[in-house]
Amino acid sequence: MEQALSYNRTPARNSYDLVIVGGGIVGLATAREFLKRQPGIKLAVLEKEADIALHQSGHNSGVIHTGIYYTPGSLKAKACVAGHKEMLEYCDQHGISYELCGKVIVALDESELPKLAELYQRGLSNGVQGLELVGPERLKELEPYAAGIKAIYSPNTGIIDYVQVARSYAREIQQQGGEIVTGCQVMGLKDRAGHSVLNLKVDINTRLESEIQARFVVTCGGLQSDKLSRMSGKASPVQIVPFRGDYYVLRPEKRAMVKSMIYPVPDPRFPFLGVHFTRRMDGQVWAGPNAVLAFAREGYQRWKVNPAELLETFKFPGFWKMAGKYWKMGLEEMYRDYNKAGFVESLQRYMPEVTGEDLLPGPSGVRAQALAPDGRLVDDFLIQHGPNVAHVQNAPSPAATSSLVIARMIADEAGKDFNFADEVFRRTF
C-alpha cells in the first residue's frame, strides 16, 4: 500500500523560484513539468482547500476522452488525442487502475444522422483510433438497453479516478523537492521590482496572514482563474460563470443495464454534452448531468448562494448576451433540475427501460465556464502569459485527460518569458 501523502500548512520559505497557484490536476501536472525541465528550482504549489483536487478535478465523470468532439486543429483536439495516449502510459508506469470500457454516441432518429456523420469525420480528422460507425444490431450487442438507429463506437474511451492521478503527480512533485501547501489562499498578487509578491491567508485553523515572493507565478485557479488574473493587474479576457451539473446513479441491481457509456449526439452550439450514462471505476453508473447556472462558484448544492459572486455574474454583460441566445435551453435545464420526472424523461430517450425508481440521488460538479464579453462560450484552452506570470484562463474538459500535454503547453508558453538561468535572480534569491 502506498504511503499517504501529507502537505505543508504554511510555506516553508518566504521566497521561491516558481509558485503554482491551484492544486487541481492541471496545476499539479504543471508543477511536475517545470520540475522535470528545471530540476532543483524552489517550487511551491499553493492550494486554498485542505486537500488537493477537491473541485473540478475531483468532481468530474472520470472519463478518459479520445478527442472525438473537438474542432480539428484546436488546442483541445491536439491535447486530447495526445493526452489520451500519455495518460494511459502514465497510469501503466505508476500502477494507476483504468478501464477502456468504450462508449457509444447514439443517433436517435434520421434528423441526427448528419451530425453523427460529421462527428465521425471530426474524430477521424483528429486522429482518434478505432472509431466505428455501427447500425442498430451492433449497437444492441454493445449496449442492449440503448435506443438509437446508428452510433459511433469508440472502443478506446476509458474510465479512471482522476484524484488518484492528481495524488500521483503530487507524490512526484514532493520527490523532486517541490512543496505543496494546502489551506493556503492567495488574497493578493502584485509585481514588485521584477518579481511577484503573493499575499496569503494561510493555515486553515488560524487563518494567519503571510507574504511570500516568487520570481515566476503560474495560476491554475479553475473556478477562480479570472479573479487571480485581475489580482495580478492583467485584464482577464473572460469571466468565469459557474454551471452546476447534477447526476443520478443507477441502483446497484440496475447497473448491468449499462455495459460501457451511452452518449447523445451533442449540440455543436453548446459546450455541454447533454445527459448520458457513464460507468465508474467503483462500479457505479452515473446518469446525467444537467447544466444549470450555479449561484456560487463552488455551488455544488442547489441552494448554495454566494450573493457577491451571483451579483458578479449578473453584472457581466456577456452573461445576458449568452442568456439571450440560450434562454430556451436554459429553461429546459432548470426544469429538469427541479423536476426528477423531467430528468428521467431525458434519460429515457437514450435508455427507454430506465425508470425513476431505478435512480438514486447522485453527486454534483461545477464547471468553470469561461465567457467572453460578447456572450461567446469559450470552448478552447486559454493561457495568458507575461514577463513573470502566466494564467490558465480556461481549461475545461478534457483537461484531466490532457493534463500532461496541457502542462507542456503552459511550460512552453511561460518559457517564452520565464528565465530560470538569470544569474542576477539566482544571487538575489
pLDDT for 38: 94
Question: Is-contact 240 369, C-beta < 8 A?
Answer: yes
243-299 pLDDT tens trace: 999 999 999 999 999 999 999 998 766 667 789 999 999 999 999 999 999 999 999
pLDDT for 427: 32
Q: In the predicted model, is pLDDT for residue 6 greater than 50?
A: yes
pLDDT for 328: 87
pLDDT for 203: 58
Side chain identity, residue 114: P
pLDDT for 426: 40
CA distance 415 to 220: 16
- 239-377 maps to CATH 3.30.160: no
Question: Is-contact 167 53, C-beta < 8 A?
Answer: yes
Q: Rounded to two decimals, what is the model's pTM?
A: 0.94
CA nearest neighbour of 404 among 3, 34, 17? 34
pLDDT for 424: 35
Is the pLDDT higher at 199 or at 8? 8
Q: Which CATH fold topology does 15-56+163-238+380-428 show?
A: FAD/NAD(P)-binding domain (3.50.50)
58-116 pLDDT tens trace: 999 999 999 999 999 998 999 999 999 999 999 999 999 999 999 999 999 999 999 99
Q: For CA atoms 377, 118, 116, 160, give the dihedral sign.
A: negative
308-349 pLDDT tens trace: 999 999 999 999 999 999 888 888 888 899 999 999 999 999
The label of the residue with cell 480556461 reads 394
Domain boundaries, the chain: 15-56+163-238+380-428, 239-377
Q: In the predicted model, is pLDDT for residue 139 greater than 70?
A: yes
Q: Among residues of the chain, what percentage have pLDDT more than 70?
A: 94
Q: Among residues of the chain, what percentage have pLDDT more than 90?
A: 77
CA distance 88 to 147: 31
